[in-house]
Structure 1
Amino acid sequence: MNYSNNKVSDIQIAYIGGGSRGWAWTFMTDLALDDQISGTIRLYDIDRQAAENNAVIGNHLMSREDAKGDWKFEVKDSLQDVLTGCDFAVISILPGTFDEMASDVHLPERLGIYQSVGDTAGPGGMIRALRTIPMFVEIAEAIRDYAPDCWVINYTNPMSLCVKTLYHVFPEIKAFGCCHEVFGTQKVLKGIYEAETGNTIEDWHDVHVNVVGINHFTWFTEANYKGVDLFPVYKNYISKHFEDGYELEGENWMNSSFKCAHRVKMDLFNRFGLIAAAGDRHLAEFMPGNEYLNDPETVHSWKFGLTTVD
């Protein structure tokens, strides 16, 4: 990598799962908005055509006048090609297809087992893990052989088991998992603080938190805004609004199964004294199945949704 004027150029990023239509597109957009770093994104996917499409999209995005970044997108044919000489490796794969995911999530419903996500815990999470772990063994071996010093960022679920597999195969790997889940809870705390105090937080990034736990079952042990402890503020809000919950402005849990009224979070706070920091549909799957996921009516009463694979 080359450094000049506090800018870093010629970063080499291997994107394993480079045909992704979700994370890859978001990643490209983020890079286009940052003028401090530049380099090459190498896209590798077992669906080569999807990676080819993303290379076209990425290079077109960087040609826009409002793009601040300077990145090139290239498609590679193998793990060896994509990893050799890279500085970072991003793993974002879908293990199997949506048909397998539908089986993971919805077949257990025949036995009265309801899953609101089915990618981390419960039968869906376990079957997904059995499908994913052999792939991560192969990826970890390739990183060990072709890019042992690169930093590895994993976005694939089940997150904890995927990252554990990387370290089991290659103990010296420099890998960590990422998820955007905690940001939503920072925004919730911002809104609740404003509702309780009448003061305004201009930027939710100013809500500072300490995060513990595992992916999709994360917790804040501390949360503050400019020295104000938000735990008592949160507790006071729950004491008055537990039945209604809290919804971010413009969001309605009944219109999207990706939204919620954060009542599961509030209930977990009342039970354990910490602020649960993932989405309610994720949190519910880590608790006994007869609590939040007993049946669709129970799910509805907690004001979140069963996310269908469709």
Structure 2
Amino acid sequence: MTTVCFVGAGSAEFTRQLLRDLLSYEDLTDASELTLVMHDIDPRRLRLAEGLARIAVERHGRPATVRVEADRRRALAGADFVINAVNIGGHAATVIDFEIPARYGLRQTIADTLGTGGVFRGLRTFGFLDELANDMRSVCPEAWLLNYTNPMAMNIQYLSLNHPDIRVLGLCHSVYWTVHDLCELVDVPLEQVQFHSAGVNHQAWILRWEHEGRSLYPLLDERIASDPQLRRRVRVDMYRRLGYYPTETSEHSSEYVPWYLHDPAEIERLRIPVGDYLQISQSNVDDIERLIPQVEAGHYSEPEEEAAEYAPQVIHSLVTGARRIIQVNVANAGLIPNLPAGSAVEVPCLLDGTGVHPQTVEALPPQCAALNQHFTSVVDLTVRAASEARPEFVRQALMCDPNTAATMSVDSIWRMADEMVTAHSALLPESLRARLLD
């Protein structure tokens, strides 16, 4: 029997896609009896998750059992795979992550990975990860934790440092969709290309991208040269200057470098949507409210896009033995030689019946590694702040953050951090609640 536990199952968009992809494998339930366990702390969202799962099982005609548990430890008991998609603090915390920095003149777009929003999202998630890891250690110690929750790099590094016995993979679809969209740009079928990517989550690099043994980068160069509007995108601008295409959207990518968001002219030139995730977050809340009555009536619209999420692929490979390579986020144990040991890195990973095998890659191009090292410095200080009870590391992480440092004075950074600590205090550990400038 294979038991998959969805933690934060009320994150309906992810849950719908993951259920669709998982139940699309005809041979999965042939190889093992499948149990889907739904868990969420919000009763309404838990009922929604239950409805989504039951409808999906019926729609796909798979012999799977659906179980619902409001208690996390009971939900985890006996799990083989735990999919984590929680958002600690929800939409209300996201609003704080944008509104307070905006008062200090700091512009953000997504604010879930690095910068002020990413740092505080990490700090309020780490305590939950401690609880989740402790529960897994007690009731499903051999399970794989498949993490989707951002900030991905911070969460994976925190777990690897503080709970090294927990088997964890960080999963993100950004590399897949980057290559998918690049192939559409140059009109080459995705299934005919070979690619190689490595770096850190949301700032990895397409190191090789080939069709029939030839690099597709020259075709991309021609496409960019012929389209002035395409050149008005952050990651196209980064690619033209760095020589390798970054694997996350322009909205995300603009936040991880010091070059764009502090400058109104660059925001205009590159059409950067400041505050974009505030609208996305509110839309997600609204979508759930629209979805609840649909599911209660016994139906909902299933995502139409092709299966692409990695968690179902991990489960399918480990249960059936199917061999495939995906991208994963794990601690750097010599996998990328010119990034810090122990930092969370994103690398190719072989999956098959023998297990999970992250692949060692060559040293990154020095310009790419330099940017990634800025990124990992912010991640490391944030993880250390919580792990070592060092509130000054929170401020120093923000001082090292590229976008924050390019925008604000050090005094403003510390004052903003104090205000953020006060606003999020209920979700932070006691050791990090101090205001250091009072």
TM-score (norm 1): 0.82
Name 1:270's counterpart in structure 2.
Answer: 240
The CA deviation at 1:308 is: 4.1
Q: Which residue of 2 aligns with 1:245?
A: 230
What residue is the counterpart of 2:278 in the other structure? 309
Q: Is 1:50 aligned to residue 40 of structure 2?
A: no
Q: Which runs of 5+ in 1 are unaligned?
A: 1-9, 195-200, 247-260
Equivalent-residue separation in structure 2 for 1:245 and 1:99 (angstroms): 35
Letter in 1 for 2:94: M
Shift of 1:153: 0.6
**Deviation of 1:128 (Å):** 0.9
1:33 aligns with 24
Partner of 1:235: 221
The one-letter code of the counterpart of 2:86 is: I
Instruction: Look up the match of 1:23.
Output: 14
Alignment match of 2:90 (pick from 84, 97, 104): 97
Q: Which region of structure 1 is more displaced relative to structure 2, 147-156 or 136-145?
A: 136-145
The 2-side partners of 1:70 and 1:169 are apart by 38
Superposed, 1:1-310 pairs within 5 Å as 10-38=1-29, 39-64=34-59, 67-194=60-187, 201-202=188-189, 204-241=190-227, 243-245=228-230, 263-288=233-258, 291-294=259-262, 298-306=266-274, 307-310=276-279
The CA distance in 2 between the partners of 1:73 and 1:219, in whole Å, is 39
| Cα displacement (A) at 1:175 | 0.9
Unaligned segments of structure 2, at least 5 residues: 280-438
Aligned length in residues: 274
Provide the rounded CA distance (Å) in 1 between the counterparts of 2:87 and 2:15: 12
CA distance in 1, matches of 2:234, 2:179: 16
Please give the alpha-carbon distance, in whole angstroms, between the structure 1 residues aligned to 2:51 and 2:247.
36
Q: Distance in 2 between matches of 1:176 and 1:157?
A: 13
Cα distance in 1 for residues equivalent to 2:62 and 2:156: 29
> Which whole-Å deviations, capped at 9, do the CAs of 1:261-290 have from their partners, x for residues lacking one?
6x22222122222111111111111001xx
Rounded Cα–Cα distance in structure 2 between residues aligned with 1:299 and 1:73: 47
- For residues 53 and 191 of structure 1, the distance between their equivalents in structure 2, rounded to whole angstroms, comes to 35
SS in 1 for 2:194: strand
Letter in 1 for 2:262: N
Separation in 1 of the partners of 2:12 and 2:68? 15
Partners of 1:31 and 1:50 in 2: CA distance: 20
In structure 2, the residue corresponding to 1:223 is in which secondary structure?
A: strand
In structure 2, give the amino acid aligned to 1:183: Y
Runs (4+) of structure 1 exceeding 4 A deviation are: none
CA contact (8 A) 1:42 1:73 kept: yes
TM-fit CA distance, 1:68: 4.6
- Quote the RMSD (CA, aligned, Å): 1.9
The alpha carbon displacement at 1:141 in A equals 1.6
SS state at 1:211 partner: strand
Contact 1:58 1:72 in 2 (8 A): no
Q: Tell me the CA shift for residue 151 of structure 1.
A: 1.3
SS in 2 for 1:292: coil
| Matched-pair contact (CA < 8 Å) for 1:34–1:68 | no
The answer (yes or no) to whether the contact 2:46–2:70 under 8 Å persists in 1 is no
Aligned counterparts of 2:112 and 2:63: Cα–Cα separation in 1: 35
- CA-to-partner distance for each residue in 1:11-61, whole Å, 9 max, x for gaps? 201111122112112112223322121311111111133112211221122
Residue 116 of structure 1: SS of its match in structure 2?
coil
Q: Which has the higher helix share?
A: 2
Distance change in 2, residues 1:163/1:233 (3 Å): same
Q: CA deviation at 1:296?
A: 5.8
**In 1, are the aligned partners of 2:111 and 2:277 still within 8 Å (CA)?**
no
Distance 1:277 1:308 in 2: 18
Secondary structure of 1:120's aligned partner: coil
> 1:118 and 1:192 mapped to 2: Cα distance?
28
Highest relative contact order (Cα 8 Å, sep 6+), 1 or 2?
2
Q: Secondary structure of the residue that 1:268 maps to in structure 2?
A: helix
CA distance in 1, matches of 2:46, 2:191: 33
Answer whether contact 1:137 1:165 (CA < 8 A) is retained.
no
SS at match of 1:63: helix
User: Partners in 1 of 2:263 and 2:239 — Cα distance?
Assistant: 23
Aligned-pair identity in percent equals 26
Give yes or no for contact 2:198–2:207 (8 Å, CA) kept in 1. Answer: yes
